[in-house]
Amino acid sequence: MDPALAAQISEAVAEKMLQYRRDESGWKICREGNGVSVSWRPSVEFPGNLYRGEGIVNGTPEQVWDCVKPLAGTLRDKWDENVNSFEIIESITDTQCVSRTTTPSAVMKLISPRDFVDLVLVKTYEDGTISSNATSVEHLLCPPKPGYVRGFNHPCGCFCGPLPGEPDKTSLVTFFQTDLSGYLPQGVVDSFFPRSMAGFYANLQKAVKKFYG
């Protein structure tokens, strides 16, 4: 992928992530519990929803990031029940790559396996927050594959940041706006994301404890 184009796309996505994080208007809470809040608002990118997850994870930002980072050598596919496999299609820089993620079937197989090809940029901010910023792209080395419906991630990612005065805890804010493609009833999609995001936080907490004690 052309590095200049990749940089341009990624920086635009990173800017959108910051806007999503700063803009508190219009969010409706759809799931709360165990210290995790999931809210949504209509996406401006596609005819679906933008979801926001917020929670505190026990573990340092470095430990939590190690578990969630969408990069080579990741722990992500070892604990995230929504990730079957994760592979790097192309490394562009040490903080930017094109990845392919496969997901298992879900909702009693109403949602068949998906795969996603994303351009991912990792950014570190002055306060120590690390962010992933991703959006789906087409890549010559990764055409659609049999057995998977090709889904599309509109700008999405997470912010993994320190909590002032709490060195062993991490604030994790996640954003998803995914077009699962295929012919899925909207009700199935709308119930799947809040539940899977809440599960993501619960499984992440177990993973940090397992890998880092």
Q: Which pLDDT belongs to residue 136? A: 98
- Residue burial 64-80, b: 16+ Cβ < 10 Å; e: rest: bbbbbbbbeebbbeebb
Check whether 182 has a pLDDT greater than 70: yes
Tens of pLDDT, residues 102-152: 999 998 888 999 999 999 999 999 999 999 999 999 999 999 999 999 999
Question: What is the Cα–Cα distance from 156 to 135, expressed in whole angstroms?
Answer: 6
Q: Which pLDDT belongs to residue 213? A: 81
Report the pLDDT averaged over residues 147-173. Answer: 96
Q: Which pLDDT belongs to residue 138? A: 96
Q: How confident is the model at residue 41 (pLDDT cuts 50, 70, 90)?
A: very high
- CA-CA-CA-CA dihedral for 24, 200, 122, 66, to nearest 10: 130
Report the pLDDT averaged over residues 29-44. Answer: 95
Q: Which pLDDT belongs to residue 108? A: 87
Report the pLDDT averaged over residues 6-34. Answer: 96
Sign of CA dihedral 124, 125, 128, 130: negative
Which amino acid is residue 167, in one-letter code?
P
Please check whether residue 2 is in contact with residue 98, taking contact to mean a CB–CB distance below 8 angstroms.
no
Q: Considering only 18-22, 27-31, 71-75, which range has the smallest mean pLDDT?
A: 71-75
Q: Which pLDDT belongs to residue 187? A: 87
At 212, list the tokens.
Answer: 């880092």
In 3-state terms, what secondary structure has residue 151? coil
Tens of pLDDT, residues 44-88: 999 999 999 999 999 999 999 999 987 766 788 889 999 998 899
Q: Which pLDDT belongs to residue 74? A: 74
Q: Which pLDDT belongs to residue 37? A: 97
Q: How confident is the model at residue 27 (pLDDT cuts 50, 70, 90)?
A: very high
Domains of the chain (ranges; CATH) run: 3-212 (3.30.530.20)
